[in-house]
Amino acid sequence: MSALRDRLRGLRAQAGLPTPAAAAPPAMRSAEELRQLLGVRVRASARSAPFPARDRALFGEEIAPGLRYTEEHAEWPEPPAPIDTRFARREDTIDPARLLHFDTETTGLAGGTGTRAFMIGAADWHGGGLRLRQLTITTMAAEPAMLRTFAHWLDPQRVLVSYNGKCYDAPLLATRYRLARLANPLAGLDHLDLLHPVRRHWKGQWENCRLATAELQLLGVLREDDLPGSEAPAAWLTYLRGGPATNLRRVAAHNAQDLKSLAGVLLRLSALGADSCAMANKDRES
C-alpha cells in the first residue's frame, strides 16, 4: 500500500496539486492519505438519534394505536332553544342539540393533499354544558382511526359550526377521507361558517376579523400564553421526532379555546339577529 501511496503522491506533485500532510498516526495515515490522494470524500457519519425528551406526557387516553382522545365539560350557560339563524341570512331556527362546533389543527395552511389534520376538536351541548372532545394522532399510521372516530360523531341531523371551515377545514378533511378511502361524513351536512357574518357586521370596524379578534370584541376573551396557530405544525413534528410534548399540549389548549369561542360567538350572533328583528318589529308598530 505504501508503494501505491507514494505513486499517487508523485502524480499529484507532477500535476501541481497539494499532497496531504502526514500528521495522523501511521496506522491511520495510510488509509486517510489514500482517500485524500484519490479525492474520495468521506460521507459524514449519521448523527445518532437523540434520546426521547423526558417531557413526553400527553393528555387524554390512547383509544387506538397512536390515537389519543380527551374529553372535558366546560361550564357554560344553556343556549337559547332554538338558535336564531337570521344573522346568517337564513330564515330558520336550529335546535342547539344538533350543533357540532369543530376545528382542526393541521400540518400547514396551504391545504392540498400534502396537508393533514393531526388534531380534530369538536364541541356540542351535552349534559347541561359544553362538551369538548379532541382527537390527536401521534403517528402517521393513526390517521384513518382518527377519521373513523370523528365520523361516528356525525349524523345527517348534525349542523356544523366553524370559523372559515367551509373554505379550509371541511375541504381538507374531505381530502383526507378520500385519500384514506373512507366515506366523507361531512358531505351534505348543514354548515354555519361564522367568519362570513362576522365580516358582514364588523369588517372595517375591527382591525381584522380573525377568531381571536371576534372573541376579544364579543366575549372579552384575551388569550394568555397562547401558541400561535402557525407554530402548531412544528409542535406536532417535534413530538413525532422524539421531542418534548410541551408545545403540543399548548396546541390542544389553543384548540379547546377555539371551540369555546365558536360556541360563544355563535350565541352572540344569534342574539344579535333576534335583537335586530325585535327592533324592526318595534319600528313597524310605531
For the whole model, what pTM was predicted? 0.78
207-261 pLDDT per residue, tens: 999 999 999 999 999 888 888 888 999 999 999 999 999 999 999 999 999 999 9
Strand partners, 73: 131
Strand partners, 133: 71, 122
Grid cell listed for 36? 485524500
Residue ranges in 19-168 assigned as alpha helix (H)? 26-38, 143-152
17-45 pLDDT per residue, tens: 566 555 444 544 555 654 565 555 545 44
Question: In this predicted structure, what is the pLDDT of residue 225?
Answer: 81
CB atoms within 10 A of CB 87: 24
Q: By percentage, how much of the chain surpasses pLDDT 70?
A: 76
CA dist 59 and 138 (Å) reads 12
Q: Residue 177: is its pLDDT beyond 60?
A: yes
82-126 pLDDT per residue, tens: 999 999 999 899 999 999 999 999 998 766 678 999 999 999 998
CA dist 115 and 122 (Å) reads 20
Strand partners, 131: 73, 124
CA dist 96 and 78 (Å) reads 9
SS (H, E, C) 211-241: HHHHHHHHHCCCCCCCCCHHHHHHHHHHHHC
Check if the beta carbon of residue 93 is closer than 8 Å to that of residue 82.
yes
| 51-59, Cβ contacts within 8 angstroms, sequence gap of 24 or more | 51/242, 52/242, 53/242, 53/243, 53/244, 53/245, 54/244, 55/244, 55/245, 55/246, 56/239, 56/244, 56/245, 57/245, 58/136, 58/138, 58/245, 58/248, 58/249, 59/134, 59/136, 59/249, 59/252
Instruction: Count the helix, strand and coil residues of the chain and give each as a percent rounded to the nearest 5.
Output: 45, 20, 40
